[in-house]
Amino acid sequence: QRVDLRANYANQPHSRPMGAGKDLFALHKDGREIPVEISLSPLQTAEGQLIIAAIRDVSDRKALQDQLLSLSITDELTGLLNRRGFIEIGGKLRAIASRAQAQLVLIMIDIDDLKGINDEFGHSVGDQCIQDVASVLRNSLRESDVLCRWGGDEFLVLGMESNKITPHVLVDRIQHNLDSFKQHNNRPYTLSISVGVASGPPDNEDFDILVDEADREMYIAKQDGSSA
């Protein structure tokens, strides 16, 4: 393919500004693949046409761009995906589920009485509570599941349902790990959560319905006092 690109350019030489076109990569002398930008300029001489090429290593800039992207989709307090990251990464999982004709599992988790914890112990302790729940959730899920801090004291989990992994299996695992966490970590507050679950197809129109359904189920659980 690279030979074809060179041959096509030789047949129709033209100025190529630095950074134009697709992302390009080159091999560093130590064998690493690095991102580069290339400018090309045809030059007519008495000996025929020459091509002036300039190559610039943009590894540092690419790393900074990747870091900024990561920050833009990451919740600062918990290190989980934020809402924007969930929509972006969750969209990829939904596409996979659609191709596999698999059902989606959506779980909404809400921390019980976070306001009361903030009022009694201060916001730094409330932040610790949020981090505790984030840690429990992170350790309860599969690598393929998408977990985010949806906002405030709410979290969302998105995964694909299978014969072995059903919504109830995921919820039971979360509840078990939360109980284990409370047993082995002394906290000045009572750590409990309310959970709502929904499942359905990964279609775009149905996804918003799943979020609303999980939110309703979570609210019912909170009102009934059936928290973990």
Q: Is 208 helix (H, G, I), strand (E, B) or coil?
A: helix
Cα 8 from Cα 21, distance rounded (Å)? 15
Tell me the three-class secondary structure of 46-99, residue by residue. Answer: CCEEEEEEEEEECHHHHHHHHHHHHHHCECCCCCCECHHHHHHHHHHHHHHHHH
**Rounded CA separation 56/59 (Å):** 9
Whether residue 141 contacts residue 158, with contact meaning beta carbons closer than 8 Å, is answered with no
16 DSSP 8-state letter = B
Are 105 and 161 spatial neighbours (Cβ–Cβ below 8 Å)? yes
Q: Which of 60, 153, 203, 215 is flagged as catalytic?
A: 153
Residue 153 falls in the annotated catalytic set: yes
Residues tagged active-site = 153
